[in-house]
Amino acid sequence: MLRYTALFTSILAGAIVSAQQICVVPFGGYGVNDVDGLTALLPNCSSDATIVFQDGVKYNISTPVDFGTLNNVEIQVLGNLELPKSIPYVQQLVNATAGGRLYWFTMKGNNITLSGNPDQSSEYGWVDSYGIQWWQEAQYTQPLGGLANRPHGWSIAANSSTIRNVKLRKPIAWSFSLNGNDMHVYGNKIDAAYDLNNPGVFPFNTDGYDIHGDNVLFENNWVFNGDDCVAVNAGNNITIRNMVCEGGHGASLSATTGVDNVVFDNITSINSLYATRFKSSLNSVGNISNVTWQNIHVHNATFPIFATGVYYDQNTNRGRTPGVYPANSTATHIKNFSWINVTGTISDVYTGDGSCTTDPCWYYVANATNTAGITLQLLNGTATNIQIHNVNLKPIDGKGVSNVVCDPSSFTDGTGNLGFECVNGPYVST
């Protein structure tokens, strides 16, 4: 009976698989842009299909790929996708794009899976963007902060989407922009690794994931980059867990309004400017509620726990002094935010990172020291029920104490819920 059931199930499974068309992307050989072969397949492979970039092959993805509208489609990246190495060639494509925002890979639709090589240690399954030369050249090109005309990586706008086991190597800049309801993102690697001790070569704007979506689950992803590891920009019911973020600007909620019910759980932060960050910009209007960062393992972060309602973009605010807010400035109202179980070390030897190209630096905070364990830069009356408990942060060189930046006027409900003394000074739990 057991055997019969197993056989019956496998026949059913076989029937479902065979309804799915397999579309193998041909490899054209040297000198051929493999996007041509892919594009020829698409009219017949946009629904109920599996599009396969074959294992062991290095595809030449010489032009941007618009997959169009896909329904019930899995894209398997088993081989490598090689983007062009010529900076002027790519810049000219971006410059020619209306609005200047070019994604190298674009898709929309419903029930889309982007999957990588199931053998995570395989030398295949990588998307190679050759970003290092862009980061290097940026140090000689004014204005500092990254070259002009950089492409974005992937834009996926779909409900019921999955991204698993995908590996991105040396992205030029932004990696994933994700939009939609019901997203599952797991087992992916983004390698924009850079030399922490050579701040001149910095991977500007290499955001790992920018998320706009409801019912989102992220698990077991690894990112080493130079901007937000993951940035929640809009949505409700978002969980990000078991993630490793190296370098970069941490597990972020970056929005002015329209985000609720977000949990960051079990995040390991290594050598980052921020381990956890809430960021909204000055003069925003809006509300964000129910956000928790819990079980955060911090190794050498400049700002382990950080919230700002007055974020300052060095590209649009050159010459202005961060920390000087005109009278009647407004900011996003945040409610029910908590940080629970945050342990580890504060970077107090070489603070900051190579993203600082203005004077004063965009991440300068008035009254913060080089051992800023908790930094809350929140305008008068813009926060309610903020709780920060079970914090154990120490300067990495063992010298000094963890400090906090905190203004009691920030909180509409007083400082009784906070969990620590709201002063500019040493961290004292209450």
Ligand X SMILES: *[C@@H]1O[C@H](CO)[C@@H](O)[C@H](O)[C@H]1NC(C)=O
Q: Catalytic positions, please? A: 227, 249
Work out which of 69, 266, 370, 387 binds ligand X, going by CB under 6 A: 266
Give the angle subtended at the CA of 249 by the CAs of 354 and 252, to the nearest 5°: 160
Cβ nearer to ligand X, comparing 157 with 217: 217
* Residue 36, phi-psi category: left (phi > 0), alpha (psi -120 to 50), beta (remainder): alpha
Distance in Å, CB of 181 to ligand X, minimum: 9
Taking CB under 6 A as the binding criterion, the range among 131-139, 202-210, 260-268, 308-316 that sits at the site for ligand X is 260-268
Taking CB under 6 A as the binding criterion, the range among 128-136, 261-269, 303-311, 312-320 that sits at the site for ligand X is 261-269
Distance in Å, CB of 3 to ligand X, minimum: 26
Distance in Å, CB of 330 to ligand X, minimum: 11
Taking CB under 6 A as the binding criterion, the range among 131-139, 250-258, 308-316, 339-347 that sits at the site for ligand X is 339-347
Work out which of 129, 294, 371, 382 binds ligand X, going by CB under 6 A: 294
Closest CA to 128 of 103, 153, 111, 150: 153
**Binding of ligand X at residue 353 (CB under 6 A)?**
yes
Work out which of 233, 281, 347, 402 binds ligand X, going by CB under 6 A: 347
Q: Are 225 and 206 in contact (CB under 8 A)?
A: yes
**Binding of ligand X at residue 217 (CB under 6 A)?**
yes
269 token code pair = 């932060």
Q: Are 273 and 248 in contact (CB under 8 A)?
A: yes
Work out which of 5, 18, 121, 197 binds ligand X, going by CB under 6 A: 197
**Binding of ligand X at residue 328 (CB under 6 A)?**
yes
Taking CB under 6 A as the binding criterion, the range among 3-11, 164-172, 225-233, 292-300 that sits at the site for ligand X is 292-300
**Binding of ligand X at residue 261 (CB under 6 A)?**
yes
List binders of ligand X among 380-409 (CB under 6 A). 380-381, 390, 396, 409
Helix (H, G, I), strand (E, B) or coil at 8: helix
Among all chains, which residue has been given the structure tokens 């081989």? 79
d(CA 209, CA 228): 8
* Residue 151, phi-psi category: left (phi > 0), alpha (psi -120 to 50), beta (remainder): beta
Rounded to a whole number, what is the distance in angstroms from the first to the last CA of the chain?
A: 63
Q: Which residues of 35-53 are buried (b: 16+ CB within 10 A; e: fewer)?
A: beebbebbeebbeebbbbb
The contact mask relative to ligand X for 150-189 (x = CB under 6 A, - = no) is --------------------------------x-------
Distance in Å, CB of 1 to ligand X, minimum: 28
Q: How many residues bind ligand X (CB under 6 A)?
A: 53
Find the helix or strand (DSSP H, E) in which 56 lies: none
Distance in Å, CB of 315 to ligand X, minimum: 13
d(CA 62, CA 84): 5
Helix (H, G, I), strand (E, B) or coil at 404: strand
What DSSP designation does 286 have?
-
**Binding of ligand X at residue 244 (CB under 6 A)?**
yes
The contact mask relative to ligand X for 27-66 (x = CB under 6 A, - = no) is ---xx-x----------x---------------x-x----
**SS (HEC) of 107-170:** EEEEEEEEECCCCCCCCCCEEECCCHHHHHHHCCCCCCCCCCCCCEEEEEEEECEEEECCEEEC
DSSP string spanning 320-366? PPTT---TT----EEEEEEEEEEEEEE--SS-S-TT--SSS-TT--T
Cβ nearer to ligand X, comparing 341 with 370: 341
**Binding of ligand X at residue 95 (CB under 6 A)?**
yes
d(CA 267, CA 249): 13
Binding site for ligand X (CB under 6 A): 20-21, 30-31, 33, 44, 60, 62, 72-74, 95, 111, 113, 148-149, 182, 196-197, 215-217, 220, 237, 242, 244, 260-261, 266, 268, 271, 289-290, 294-295, 300, 323, 327-328, 336, 340-341, 347, 350, 353, 366-367, 380-381, 390, 396, 409, 424
